[in-house]
Structure 1
Amino acid sequence: MYLTRHLRLLPRRNVGRQLASGNSTHCNYTTAAPAEEHIEIPSRIERSPTDVLQALAGTVGRDPTAPHYKYHDDPFLIPMSNMAKRTFALSKEAGRKAANWIKEEHHELFMHQEAQPAIEKFAPRMVYTEESEVDAGTLERLIAQGDLADAVLVYNTMETKGIEVSAELKQSLLEMVCFYNNQEPLPEDYIEERWFTQNSRRRERSAKTWKDGDLAEKLYGAIEPKTPEAYAALIRGMAKYLQCERAYALLQEANERGLQLDTGSFNAIIQIVSLLKNTAEQRWQLCQELLQQMCEQQLQPNLGTMNALLECISTFGNFKLARTAALKVLPEFKQLGIAPSLGSYYFLLIIFCRERAPVSHVIVDILNDIAGKEFKIQHPKDTYFFATAMDVCRNHLHDKALAKKVNELLHTGNNYDLVGDSFKEAVYYRNYLALLCQTESIDDFMRTYDQLVPNIYTPEPGIMEEILRALEINGAIEQMPRIWSDMVVFDHVHQERLLLLVLRIMVDNKPNLQLPAHELLSEQCAKVALDMFSSIEEPRRYKKLNFTGQMLGDILTLLVRCESSFEKATEVLAYIDKQQHRIPGTPADSALLEFVDAAVIQKAPSQALVALQYAVDNNMETTTLAQRINDGFTLNEVHLAKLKSLVGDSFLNK
């Protein structure tokens, strides 16, 4: 017992020492030999150079108050409007292109190699001419680097000098030329320019762009004997650039010669079936024939085959046939163990959720199937899913709950990488905000608005109009000054319909001074009106906005409702009176009446008579105005004479 109490009183870190050293009071203890420790070294895990950065990035979420990383983090260099975002992004890439041009034009200044080992990308580019000493190794290296222009030049130089080019090298060059259609591609580094270029060429995609009789066909003719790989390269190139008839003819020719093509070649032809046949029945029949040929050649379909079929089915004008065919395709590929990608679901939405077709809830089944999953890019159309799904939620079903499920899926894992380019991202959030402003309470909507605008999404004029109408319906007049500030930043102040709507909402909804949120609202609305009036004479890059009499009348009304802005209101009235022959329309009678009432309060009979003079000149209602002036002021002889000259003695004698 004594030993136990003694041990309890000792600090714990000293107990082991005393027992080991034998310094206890009554007995000595000997320590047992420590057990042999076994250290197991784990296997080395291969890491990429960015794994640490990705791990750090995974610990934080996206900051909605911060701009995109492609913009400079400087208040004066952060774009807010859509035009500014596009201009800033392209300007940054233009600077990089200029720097690259300097490096190529003055390569003698960049011969030093600071990095060890040397970084080939930073080295000056080799310049090839027709006199350059080239060989098969040079051509092979250029093809591996994807340098199309130099590879073609070197090939032509080798042909001119009689240097033999192997069939394998010709095949590699043929594949590259067919892939790019012998047109120098935009470097992958210029992401923004490629995105905006693709969006501007959307209308040109249905036209044939294949270069007939160009290098690709010459290379194909030079390969003897013809191989399945040569057929496959030319078929895919022609199909990609919509030389449809010849691509299909080459496929038939290869089949007749007994050459077995690959799955990708059949996928390319299935994608253009809609351009080969006119009716839905003919297209579906041709698809079945192509699938039968694949079966006969024992070719295994893949995800590209399924998406090519669904893409073709999505072009069927016959809705019933399209839906039936799609429901046949999905189980067949499921039996083959091929799981749909986001691109597959995109085509299903196109097939089932058509504008003039019965309402379909296929998106509910899709979301139930993929909820909580993280996707990787597997097909070029995968980036179309989220924008299309949100469009279906808004325009086809008008379902807020589904829209939030789509948004939750987008922010699961790294799925945001599949939102697509800046255009698709804008379409996604355009539909999302438009749906929320129609279905949510104004407070909940404004919280979402604060998270997205302006760094993630800048509302277009159409969406801003829907937001204004939602504020009008909910009577959220206190939000108008803030929305107007955003409109100024987004460069929407040149939109006449938006200005009319803003003025109408503020004029029709008078502030309730009993509410704390409305205490300063009159002054804020007056500032908004003054901002609009100040923009009349400002030079604009857009077409100059023509203010109508109704707009100026609303501006006048908002100014007179704020007692401190009466002087500005008189300036507006003076402008209306001076420019009355140029301004289309006239202010509302109520606007002049409120101005006269304010003039009575401010004891300014001269200004009230100016309003009456304007009403008389434009054949407006004058009886009420004259009565207010006569009852509200003690007029002197000059003012009384002016009033008599405007409305006559008969009115004053009543």
Structure 2
Amino acid sequence: MHHFTKAVNLLHYITCFLQDPTAVRYTFHDDTYLIPRTPSELRLFAFSKESGKNAAKYIINEFPRYFERDIAEPHIPCLMPENLKPQIEGVSEAALKEHIQLRKVRASVDIYDQLLQAGNPVSLKTTNSLLDLLCFYGDQEPVRDYLPEKEMSEESESRENNNAERIFNLMPERNAHSYCTMIRGMVKHGAYQKAFVMYTDLLNERHRADVDTFNALILAVARIRETFFDKWEVIKDLLNCMARQNVQPSVLTFNNILKSLKYCGGLGRSVSSKVLNEMKAINIGKRIPNLLLISNVTSKIATSKDVIAVLFQGCFSPPTLQCVNLKDLKLAYRVHRVLEMGGSWKFLPVDQQYVYW
């Protein structure tokens, strides 16, 4: 009976902390004069909130010595400063792994070079991890999330003879992971021609590319071919290679195809609908809502034409939008229902989010 009373009391305590469904969103202060109502106020509030979070992260992570006291029971790691200092001293493969884990780009390259100069071979797995780090961050130190980001293009430029290419050429043994990492890194940082040369080397070595590598190459096609026909032929060749190697395409594969077709003029308009129908044919169409949640979906939808126009407004240019003629009303309403679930409203632009609050 005593244990039953404890359980009842615990349930009563829990009800005290449940969210009131009639209350204002927890992100706002419970003050009618402070609740943002217009799009400009919502945007200002969101920026102010993130600015405060970044300022707090900066203070905690840049001056961790002032936050060493831990009074939380049990220990809450996310409330403590990040441990970004390497614990392993000296030059060894274990130290290299730790620096890679901590995303220390320049220090990792220095340790790798020192190991080679001392005649100590580095394992293929560790070298591939270093390539992953270099190709992802473009041979530069990563910017912490609490520091202001510099204005830059979506794809940073790739330097000639960078550390990733140098280390790749020094590797005594390379596997498919090594080639795929280099290809994805080259596409990410704008070296499109080099990416296709590396892909040719991969095939000559009788390795197989993974689906992420094919996705990157498909996205790069629009940047290396001039005529519409040449672009589409290269895309078809890549898709045929995927079929021969039994590589299952993903939603991102077709998404990148459609992005490349935006630069193919009339040919792209005639092929886009076939690509979308092919997605449904291989059972990827059921996952289209996950791809299209980034679209500017509004709350007022009436006809099939309006639904499709709204869904594809954020993903395609107006010429490509005219070629989409699926008229799939059920799919459109499924996407809209997903938008109304949980926190999916966050995918909407700031000026439309207040409709769902």
* TM-score class normalised by the smaller sequence: 0.7 to 0.9
Question: Could you tell me whether the CA contact under 8 Å between 1:236 and 1:247 is conserved in 2?
Answer: yes
TM-score (structure 2 length as normaliser):
0.72
Tell me the distance in 2 between the aligned counterparts of 1:155 and 1:354.
42
Which structure 2 residues correspond to residues 346-361 of structure 1 after superposition, within 5 A?
A: 349=312, 355=318
> What does residue 49 of structure 1 align with?
none
Tell me the distance in 1 between the aligned counterparts of 2:330 and 2:259.
23
Q: Does 1:286 align with 2:234?
A: yes
- Residue among 320, 330, 336 paired with 1:368: 330
Report deviation, 1:132: 4.4
> What does residue 410 of structure 1 align with?
339
Tell me the distance in 2 between the aligned counterparts of 1:72 and 1:185.
34
Q: Which residue identity is paired with 1:341?
A: I
* Cα distance change of structure 1 residues 115 and 309 upon mapping to structure 2, 3 Å threshold: same
Tell me the distance in 2 between the aligned counterparts of 1:294 and 1:119.
46
- Residue among 302, 322, 325 paired with 2:250: 302
> What does residue 260 of structure 2 align with?
312
Query: C-alpha deviations, 1:472-498, integer Å up to 9, x for none?
Result: xxxxxxxxxxxxxxxxxxxxxxxxxxx
> What does residue 341 of structure 1 align with?
288
* Cα distance change of structure 1 residues 357 and 296 upon mapping to structure 2, 3 Å threshold: closer
Question: Could you tell me whether the CA contact under 8 Å between 1:236 and 1:265 is conserved in 2?
Answer: yes
> What does residue 203 of structure 2 align with?
255
SS, match of residue 371 in structure 1: helix
Q: Does 1:183 align with 2:140?
A: yes
Question: Could you tell me whether the CA contact under 8 Å between 2:183 and 2:213 is conserved in 1?
Answer: yes
> What does residue 162 of structure 2 align with?
214
Question: Could you tell me whether the CA contact under 8 Å between 1:353 and 1:359 is conserved in 2?
Answer: no
Q: Which residue identity is paired with 1:368?
A: K
Mark the runs of 5 or more structure 1 residues left unpaired by the alignment: 1-51, 374-405, 430-450, 457-654
Report deviation, 1:211: 3.4
Tell me the distance in 1 between the aligned counterparts of 2:290 and 2:158.
26
Alignment RMSD (CA, Å): 4.0
Report deviation, 1:164: 4.8
Q: Which residue identity is paired with 1:250?
A: M
> What does residue 330 of structure 1 align with?
276
Question: Could you tell me whether the CA contact under 8 Å between 1:67 and 1:78 is conserved in 2?
Answer: no
> What does residue 60 of structure 1 align with?
21
Report deviation, 1:359: 5.6
Question: Could you tell me whether the CA contact under 8 Å between 2:270 and 2:323 is conserved in 1?
Answer: no
* Cα distance change of structure 1 residues 226 and 100 upon mapping to structure 2, 3 Å threshold: same
- Residue among 98, 104, 107 paired with 1:153: 107
Report deviation, 1:210: 2.4
Report deviation, 1:284: 0.8
SS, match of residue 334 in structure 1: helix
Tell me the distance in 2 between the aligned counterparts of 1:75 and 1:352.
37
Q: Does 1:125 align with 2:83?
A: yes
Report deviation, 1:95: 3.8
* Cα distance change of structure 1 residues 108 and 271 upon mapping to structure 2, 3 Å threshold: same
* Cα distance change of structure 1 residues 90 and 335 upon mapping to structure 2, 3 Å threshold: closer
* Cα distance change of structure 1 residues 294 and 178 upon mapping to structure 2, 3 Å threshold: same
Tell me the distance in 1 between the aligned counterparts of 2:275 and 2:210.
20
Q: Which residue identity is paired with 1:181?
A: G
Tell me the distance in 2 between the aligned counterparts of 1:372 and 1:331.
17
Which structure 2 residues correspond to residues 537-576 of structure 1 after superposition, within 5 A?
A: none
Aligned length: 322
Which structure 2 residues correspond to residues 348-497 of structure 1 after superposition, within 5 A?
A: 349=312, 355=318, 362=325, 365-372=327-334, 406=336, 410-419=339-348, 424-426=349-351, 428=352, 452=355
TM-score (structure 1 length as normaliser):
0.42
SS, match of residue 265 in structure 2: coil
Tell me the distance in 2 between the aligned counterparts of 1:358 and 1:188.
36
Report deviation, 1:356: 5.7
Tell me the distance in 2 between the aligned counterparts of 1:218 and 1:142.
19
Query: C-alpha deviations, 1:622-651, integer Å up to 9, x for none?
Result: xxxxxxxxxxxxxxxxxxxxxxxxxxxxxx
Which structure 2 residues correspond to residues 495-510 of structure 1 after superposition, within 5 A?
A: none
Question: Could you tell me whether the CA contact under 8 Å between 2:61 and 2:81 is conserved in 1?
Answer: no
Greater relative contact order (CA < 8 Å, ≥ 6 in sequence) = 2
> What does residue 174 of structure 1 align with?
131
Q: Does 1:266 align with 2:222?
A: no
Which structure 2 residues correspond to residues 622-633 of structure 1 after superposition, within 5 A?
A: none
Query: C-alpha deviations, 1:326-356, integer Å up to 9, x for none?
Result: 2332343434332342365569936998646
Report deviation, 1:281: 1.4
Report deviation, 1:252: 1.5
> What does residue 229 of structure 1 align with?
177
Report deviation, 1:265: 0.7
Report deviation, 1:233: 0.4
Question: Could you tell me whether the CA contact under 8 Å between 1:313 and 1:326 is conserved in 2?
Answer: yes
Q: Which residue identity is paired with 1:252?
A: T
SS, match of residue 165 in structure 1: coil
* Cα distance change of structure 1 residues 215 and 288 upon mapping to structure 2, 3 Å threshold: same
Query: C-alpha deviations, 1:2-38, integer Å up to 9, x for none?
Result: xxxxxxxxxxxxxxxxxxxxxxxxxxxxxxxxxxxxx
Q: Which residue identity is paired with 2:275?
A: V
Q: Which residue identity is paired with 2:312?
A: L
Question: Could you tell me whether the CA contact under 8 Å between 2:313 and 2:321 is conserved in 1?
Answer: no
Report deviation, 1:297: 2.3
SS, match of residue 312 in structure 2: helix
SS, match of residue 251 in structure 1: helix
SS, match of residue 169 in structure 2: helix
Tell me the distance in 2 between the aligned counterparts of 1:128 and 1:142.
7
Tell me the distance in 2 between the aligned counterparts of 1:154 and 1:103.
25
Report deviation, 1:225: 1.7
Mark the runs of 5 or more structure 2 residues left unpaired by the alignment: 1-13, 296-307
Report deviation, 1:171: 0.5
> What does residue 71 of structure 2 align with?
114
Report deviation, 1:101: 3.7
Report deviation, 1:275: 0.8
Report deviation, 1:251: 0.8
